[in-house]
Amino acid sequence: MKRVIIAGIVLASLAACNTADPESTYLVDPSKEDPVADFDYTVESSSGKVLFTNKSTGSIAYRWIFGDASGSSSLEENPSFIYRQSGSYTVSLRASNGYTSNVKEKVIEYTLPDDVVLIEADGNLDDWANVPWREDVNTFGVVTGIKTAATSADLYVLMEGTPEMAGNHIDISFNMDDNLETGNGNKTDFDIVKGGPGADMFVEDGGFFVYNGDGTGNYTWIEGGWPDESEFIEVDGKVYKEYRFNLEVGQAYVETPSDRFTMNIWLRDSNWAWSGATQSREAADAKTWDPFYVTVGEYRDPSEL
């Protein structure tokens, strides 16, 4: 519905307008010039952000459609956007003066930087296309591969395994300060059930626990926050599972968190018997059980750039 101001009096019919329509949320004089939509864009090579510069004339309201599979859009005048993968995208800008509108389209050839992560624990394995498989992690049993990507706020983990992995309980431990003298009180033997020496926290069958830090090895269940996880996904005879861990929540329970921390993943079958695990490649060669390292910032999240 068109909105019009005549001599400063708003017509009563305005009450019936659909305020969800950006072209119906402004009060304008229809005698103004017709809008002409136009825009330019640049791509930040460091971040992968597409920065749009609005060059429209005669307009006060805008709607951008970025042309991705999710139908992402924006009402900002000069938005920015990061596509989830490289490709060609048709971007549409509708510029309106509240009475009439005009549309401009351009095709963008986009390349996502290799070190930017756009991951959600939603079962979409395409998110991981730019993250390599860990070559410094030994996997055996039902685990066949691991990917990790850590920003300052989140840790993302992708596990690959045989079909048997879907029937397992998955437990994960973390040594967030890279210090064997804090966290788990057991300093001599690897306690496969509770994370091993130096573990500050662990996820056991979906629950999040932190060690009390008193040298006893006692721990406390923490409500909420850890982790977000996908269902098991089966592709070409392999099974996959995604996790997102909130590092800020975990680091809150460690006195001096480190940008380089260790983690270990192990699995127990339906009878809760150990059936597989991960460990550092170096530890595997030495036949020990040391967890593998993860470095914060190894791959970057666009929100941090």
- Which of 74, 109, 144 terminates a domain? The answer is 109
Q: What is the mean pLDDT of residues 81-106?
A: 93
Q: Are residues 210 and 268 in the same domain?
A: yes
Chain centroid to Cα 206, Å, comes to 19
Extract the tokens encoding 283: 């530890």
298-to-66, 113, 268 alpha-carbon distances in Å = 28, 13, 29
Structural domains in the chain (count): 2
Q: Among 32-46, 147-161, 179-193, 272-286, which is the least confidently predicted range?
A: 179-193
In terms of Cα–Cα distance, which of 293, 284, 282, 269 is closest to 162? 269
Residue 192 has pLDDT above 90, yes or no: no
Q: Are residues 85 and 222 in the same domain?
A: no
What would the pLDDT profile of 201-247 be if each residue is shown by its tens digit?
A: 888 877 888 888 776 778 888 876 678 899 999 999 999 999 998 88
Residue 9 has pLDDT above 70, yes or no: no
pLDDT of residue 218: 80
Q: For residues 295 and 149, what is the distance between their CA atoms, to the nearest angstrom?
A: 8
The DSSP element (H or E) to which 286 belongs, if any, is helix 281-286
Q: What is the DSSP letter of 17?
A: S
- Give the pLDDT band of residue 255 (cuts 50, 70, 90): confident
Asked if 92 and 69 touch (Cβ cutoff 8 Å), the reply is no
Extract the tokens encoding 240: 């996959």
Q: What is the mean pLDDT of residues 285-289?
A: 71
Q: Would you tell me how many other CB atoms lie within 10 Å of the CB of residue 13?
A: 11
pLDDT of residue 20: 38
Instruction: Indicate the burial class of 43 (C-beta count within 10 angstroms; 0-12, 13-18, 19 or more).
Output: middle
What would the pLDDT profile of 68-91 be if each residue is shown by its tens digit?
A: 988 999 999 999 998 988 899 999
What would the pLDDT profile of 114-138 be if each residue is shown by its tens digit?
A: 778 788 888 889 889 888 999 999 8
pLDDT of residue 223: 77
| Three-class secondary structure of residue 9 per DSSP | strand
Q: Are residues 266 and 165 in the same domain?
A: yes
pLDDT of residue 208: 86
- Give the pLDDT band of residue 113 (cuts 50, 70, 90): confident
Q: Among 135-139, 157-161, 220-224, 256-260, which is the least confidently predicted range?
A: 220-224
* CATH code, domain with 300: 2.60.40
pLDDT of residue 41: 97
Percentage of the chain modeled with pLDDT above 90: 36
Q: Domain of 92?
A: 5-109
- Is the residue at 120 inside a domain? no
Q: What is the mean pLDDT of residues 166-171?
A: 88
pTM: 0.70
pLDDT of residue 261: 92
Residue 176 has pLDDT above 80, yes or no: yes
- Is the residue at 115 inside a domain? no
- Is the residue at 117 inside a domain? no
Q: Are residues 157 and 231 in the same domain?
A: yes
The DSSP element (H or E) to which 219 belongs, if any, is strand 219-222
Q: Are residues 20 and 103 in the same domain?
A: yes
- Is the residue at 192 inside a domain? yes
pLDDT of residue 90: 97
In terms of Cα–Cα distance, which of 157, 217, 226, 167 is closest to 190? 217
Please report, in angstroms and rounded to a whole number, the separation of the first and last CA atoms in the chain. 41
What rounded mean pLDDT belongs to the chain? 81
| Three-class secondary structure of residue 115 per DSSP | coil
Q: Are residues 80 and 188 in the same domain?
A: no
Q: Give the torsion through C-alpha atoms of 158, 302, 71, 112, to 10 deg.
A: -80
Q: What is the mean pLDDT of residues 165-173?
A: 89
168-to-22, 164, 191, 194, 263 alpha-carbon distances in Å = 50, 7, 19, 16, 19
